[in-house]
Each structure stands twice: as structure tokens, then as C-alpha cells.
Structure 1
């Protein structure tokens, strides 16, 4: 899969792993400079998007890194700021669809590179402790040991462990 989008101050290609911004011509020379910027999806924390609202307006796409902060206020507006940003490309209304396709593909690749979100701790049941014929069936020691094992595995929070232990010791 290779996506290409032609912008006002640069062209963007995406091969599924790398975003490449290529700049040439007068518009690039007057802003961020002529050349190429190559970013692996693991370097991209988010894809920022500003859609042009009318045929005569410009939008932009920005490939932001993890330490890249979006300014609260920019003189001249966000599009003007993006014109001077090496990780952003301006685009016209008529190119909106190809940039939307590019945005969606890069966002999906960034999410896939980040891996699945952290899930709950493995909550597999603990094996039953071996029965000791000298202990009564509802042994306090065995129950406290089981609670300790559940807390050590992260299945019980410290607060839950303390409440359950108090219940056991209060019998």
C-alpha cells in the first residue's frame, strides 16, 4: 500500500511504515526549506488535522511527535503556523480526500505500532492449596495466604486486600 498526497508546500507519501514529506519549489524554500523529512510511524504520536472549510481556504496535516505541543494561540492562526512547521503540509480543498485517506492510514499504523492498550492483570484462578489433614476446612492461615497471593498478583488492590483481611480476622 502506497499513498501519495500533493500539498501546497510539500508532497506526502506513506508506505505503511514511513511518512515522507518532500518539499521543493518556491513555497518550500520560503518556509521550512527544500528537502525531505522521513518519519517512521513509531516516531509519530498523533496526526493533527485542520480541514479547509471552503474552496479558497487551506487545511493542514501534521505528524506530531511525542514531545510536540500544540500552541494555544498562534499569530496568524493555525494554518499560518503549519506553513512554517517541518512536520506539517498544507493542502487545498480539492486535495482534501487524498489527505483524509492518508490521515486515516497513518493513524491506523500509529495505533498498530503502539500495540494493544494495557489490559487487566491475568485473572486466572489460583490453584487450590494442597489439603492438610491437620488443618480445619476453613483455615484462617490458608485464607490469608490466598488473599496475599491475590494481592501479589495484582488481582486485589491494597484497599481490597485490607478489607478482606479485616473480615477474616474479625470472625
Structure 2
């Protein structure tokens, strides 16, 4: 479980779900109380703005399609109003960087092509292999017949 606490909110990621919990007056006033859980498969992207010496940064989770970028200078203000964002200070940023990396890695893993399952050999292939072993003298005729009977009984 990776946790990161920011200004008015906290993010937690357990490998499957991202939980957004609001805390403090600022968080509850703008988004209400409670917790929002998002499965990693519903998150399409992570928007990120690092904190600077004079301004806060934010992490914003995009759901579904692409989000519009706000005009420069108002991005952090817009993120503070978004229920899928948490604003953080320069001091809080390392926790959020770790969280961001884990979420992006999980998103990428969810989009990675899956290896096709190996097809089970057919009955004919198995019988051909057994016959070859018998012809090479590795199996006796009795062993071949026993293995053939076992395959046919399946």
C-alpha cells in the first residue's frame, strides 16, 4: 500500500484500487466527506504538475478519454476543484512521485498485450509421439498400448 497525503486529500494505492480520501476543512468543503475508490482499469492517465518553490503541485487521475489541459496559470486552481485530484506542497511531493510511478506502472501493465495460452496438444499429436517412441524402441509395444489406452480414455 502506497499512501500520500496532500492539501485537503490523501491518495492510497494497493495495486488494484486508488482511494481518494478528503480530510481537513479545505478537502471536505470542496468535495465532501468520504472516500472514492477507482479501479486501476478505469484510470486512463495521470496528469502531473510538480510543486515549485512558490506554487503547489498536483496529481490528477483521468478517467476514460483525454482531459483538456487548462490554461497555464490556472491548472492548479482547476485541479483543486477536481474530485480526482489532490494538490501537494514541495515537501509532500516525494510521496506523490512514488505513488504516481506505481499507478503509471499498473496502467501500463493493464494495457500490455497478453501472451496467448499454449494450445493443448491434440489426441492425434499425442498418439503420433507415442508411436515414434515405440518405433525408436524407447517404449515397448505393451507400454505403447497402455499409454494409448490412457489417452483414449480421457
TM-score after normalising by structure 2: 0.69
Match of 2:45 in 1: 46
Shift of 1:24: 2.2
Secondary structure at the residue paired with 1:105? helix
Instruction: Tell me if structure 1 keeps the 8 A contact 2:70–2:78.
Output: no
Counterpart selection for 2:56 from 40, 58, 70: 58
Instruction: Tell me if structure 1 keeps the 8 A contact 2:40–2:106.
Output: yes
Give the alignment of 1:2-151 within 5 angstroms: 2-54=1-53, 56-73=54-71, 77-116=74-113
Runs of 4+ in structure 1 off by over 3 angstroms are none
Instruction: Tell me if structure 2 keeps the 8 A contact 1:25–1:34.
Output: no
How many residue pairs get matched? Answer: 114
Shift of 1:65: 0.9
Separation of aligned partners in 1, 2:57 and 2:70: 18
Shift of 1:37: 1.1
Shift of 1:31: 1.4
Q: Return 5+ residue gaps in structure 1 as ranges.
A: 118-171
Secondary structure at the residue paired with 1:93? coil
Instruction: Tell me if structure 1 keeps the 8 A contact 2:57–2:89.
Output: yes
Instruction: Tell me if structure 1 keeps the 8 A contact 2:8–2:28.
Output: no
